[in-house]
Amino acid sequence: MTVDVDIAHLARTRSRYPEAIGEAAARRKRRAFVGERGRLMVIAADHPARGALAVGDRPFAMADRAGLLERLCLALSRPGVDGVLASADVLEDLLLLGALEDKVVIGSMNRGGLAGAAFEMDDRFTGHRAEDLVRLGFDAGKLLLRIDHGDPGSLRTLHAAARAIDDMAAHRLPVLVEPFLSRRVAGGQVRNDLGPEAVTTSIAIASGLAGTSAYTWLKVPVTDDPGDMERVLGTSTLPTVLLGGDVTDGPAGQDAAYERWRAALRLPTVQGLVVGRSLLYPADGDVAGAVDTAVGLL
C-alpha cells in the first residue's frame, strides 16, 4: 500500500480556509484512550518541532513533510495502531488528511529545548497547552523532562512540567511524561543516561511531580539489559509506555530492539509502545512491515 499526500492541496486549504482544521477536529470520530485490548501502540513524530530532523546518516530526512505524512498515514492505516504523538502542525496536517479518525491523538507540549541550543535544558512549553488539547478534542499530551544537575534550566523545566501536569489533570486528560537524567558531553551536545540507575532515578522524580499523579503516565526507554527493566519499572505504579528510541545498527539492531521491547512488555505497569523513527524510517524501508512487527509484540 502506498499513500500520496498532496502538499499543494494542504497549503491551499491552510491559506484559504484555515477554519477547516477546527471543523475537522470537531467532527473527528474519537475512541477511548485505552481500548478493549488494554494496550497502546502509538507512532511518534514530534521530532521536527525540536529541530531534530536526522534519521541515521540522513541529516534532514524528516524535513520532507510530504514523505513524513505519507509514512504516518501508512503507519496509522495498519491494524493494531492506536494513534499518533506529534506537534500541532503535523497533527493538523493529519486532521486535514482524514488520518486521525478513531485514533488516539497525543499533542506534544514542550518544544522549547531545541536540539543543539545553548538553552536546550530550559525546555519551555511552546507547544500544546491543556486548553488547546481540549479545544481540538485531542486525547492526551506528552512532555519531555530532561534533568541535568549542572544546568539551572532543568529547574525551570521541572517547575513548568509540574504545572502542566496539574493543568492536564484539571481537564482529566492523560499526560505522558518522558523523563531522563541528562548531561552535556564534549562539543556541548546533550546525552541522556540510559543506565538502569539513571532511568530509575528519573522515574522516581517524574512520578512525584505536581499536585496529583492521577492522570500521569510515564514514557520510558528500555535499558540495554532487559533484565534491568523489572527493577527499574518497580520504582512506580504509574502506567507506562515504552519509548522505542532510535535504531541505527541496521536490521540486526532492529531485531535486537524488538526483543528488548518484547521482554519489557511483559512487565505489569507497561501498557504499550510509543515508537517513532525506527518504524517510520526502518533500515529496510518497509514501513508497513516494521509497524506490523511492533504491533505483533503487543
SS3 for the chain is CCCCCCHHHHHHHHHHCCHHHHHHHHHCCCCCCCCCCCCEEEEEECCHHHCCCCECCECCHHHCHHHHHHHHHHHHHCCCCCEEEECHHHHHHHHHCCCCCCCEEEEECCCCCCCCCCCCCCCCCCCCCHHHHHHHCCCEEEEEEEECCCCCHHHHHHHHHHHHHHHHHHCCCCEEEEEEEEEECHHHCEEECCCHHHHHHHHHHHHCCCCCCCCEEEEEECCCCHHHHHHHHCCCCCCEEEECCCCCCHHHHHHHHHHHHHHHCCCCCEEEEEECHHHHCCCCCCHHHHHHHHHHHC
Q: Domain range holding 182?
A: 7-28+37-297
Q: Which three cell numbers stand for residue 161?
A: 512540567
In a domain, 51, yes or no: yes
pLDDT for residue 270 is more than 80 = yes
d(CA 17, CA 211) in angstroms, rounded, equals 41
- Average pLDDT, integer, range 133-156: 97
pLDDT for residue 237 is more than 90 = yes
- Using pLDDT thresholds of 50, 70 and 90, give the confidence band for residue 245: low
Looking at residue 250, its pLDDT comes to: 65
Number of domains composing the chain: 1
d(CA 268, CA 82) in angstroms, rounded, equals 20
In a domain, 2, yes or no: no
Looking at residue 4, its pLDDT comes to: 85
- Average pLDDT, integer, range 209-229: 92
In a domain, 81, yes or no: yes
Instruction: Write the pLDDT tens digit of every residue in 82-126.
Output: 999 999 999 999 999 999 999 999 999 999 999 999 999 999 999
Looking at residue 244, its pLDDT comes to: 81
Q: What's the chain's average pLDDT?
A: 93
Lowest mean pLDDT among 77-86, 113-122, 214-223, 224-233: 224-233
CATH code: domain of residue 74: 3.20.20.70
In a domain, 106, yes or no: yes
Looking at residue 246, its pLDDT comes to: 67
- Average pLDDT, integer, range 130-152: 97
In a domain, 1, yes or no: no
- Using pLDDT thresholds of 50, 70 and 90, give the confidence band for residue 249: low
pLDDT for residue 55 is more than 60 = yes
Share of the chain above pLDDT 70, in %: 97
